[in-house]
Amino acid sequence: MSDALQIKNITVNYGGFIALNQVNLQIDAHTTLGLVGESGSGKSTLAKVVAGLVTPDEGEVRFSEQVLRKRRTRMQHKAIQMVFQNPDASLNPKHTVRQILSEGLLFHHIVPRSQLMDRCRELLALVHLDEDALVRYPYAFSGGQRQRIAIARAISVEPNLLIADEPTSALDVSVQLSVLELLHRLKEKLNLTMLFISHDMGVINAVCDTVAVMRQGRIIEVSPKEQFFLHPKADYSYQLLSAVPRMPIFNR
């Protein structure tokens, strides 16, 4: 079974505002697609459609050759996981890390109850956190650490597709790098297919195989990474690339 994602003619209306307009997109199995575009271009809405959080008005999403309907099966839920933008809001403040990590493990019967703690420790080790984190609450962690916990929760149910919705945009530059490295390593190790959303061209360049550009609810370009950065097809892509701020060089 191939872990490829196909998005066909997806349209989403938010009370008259067209957030997604006939979007078609394909992510090949075990590759990373970077989705770029300005704020409000529909990137996050598309991610939510794939994750099952938003039901499209038209079109269909297929994963591993199965159509994902409004009510997904347990297996379909398990197969697609998402890491959110804001690490401050993505963990329930009333749950300990152990509760956060074990919820999916138990619900999807990933491990029997007797091995639960061992699995939680393994997950923490995967995201480079000590096991004493298990008994602590989210507020005791920094933004980068919380994002690692969120990533651990997402991979706990052994998904095939991981959606990362601007996972580093709320983090310090130094922490961003470590989270990106972590995602990249996990992707290789777990052989994931990834949908990576960012408006940071540097990040996209670092993690993606293919780049898709969105504007006003439409996909306006899909290109392999090298081609996108060297010879973008759409004028808007060129504008996006040239809008990347560069360090000023002073002549002394």
Nearest CB to another protein, comparing residues 84 and 196? 84
Give me the torsion for CA of 168, 33, 216, 247, rounded to 10°: 50
Of 82, 164, 203, 219, which one interacts with another protein (CB under 8 A)?
82
3-state class (DSSP) for residue 163:
strand
Q: Which of residues 157-176 bind another protein (CB under 8 A)?
A: 157
Of 36, 68, 84, 141, which one interacts with another protein (CB under 8 A)?
84
Contact between 8 and 170 under an 8 Å Cβ cutoff? The reply is no
Stretch that binds another protein, among 71-79, 183-191, 214-222, 232-240 (CB under 8 A): 71-79
Q: Which of residues 104-123 bind another protein (CB under 8 A)?
A: 104, 107-108
Nearest CB to another protein, comparing residues 154 and 204? 154
Nearest CB to another protein, comparing residues 30 and 95? 95
Give the 3-state secondary structure percentages of the chain, helix then strand then coil, rounded to 5: 40, 25, 35
Element (H, E) at 82: strand 80-83
Of 103, 158, 200, 209, which one interacts with another protein (CB under 8 A)?
103
Minimum CB separation from another protein for residue 235, in Å? 34
Rounded CA-CA distance 131/123 in Å is: 9
Closest CA to 79 of 204, 192, 186: 192
Residue 185 DSSP class: H
Nearest CB to another protein, comparing residues 34 and 138? 138
Contact between 80 and 135 under an 8 Å Cβ cutoff? The reply is no
**Contacts with another protein, residue ranges (CB under 8 A):** 48, 51-53, 72, 74, 76-78, 80-82, 84-86, 89-95, 103-104, 107-108, 137, 139, 150, 153-154, 157
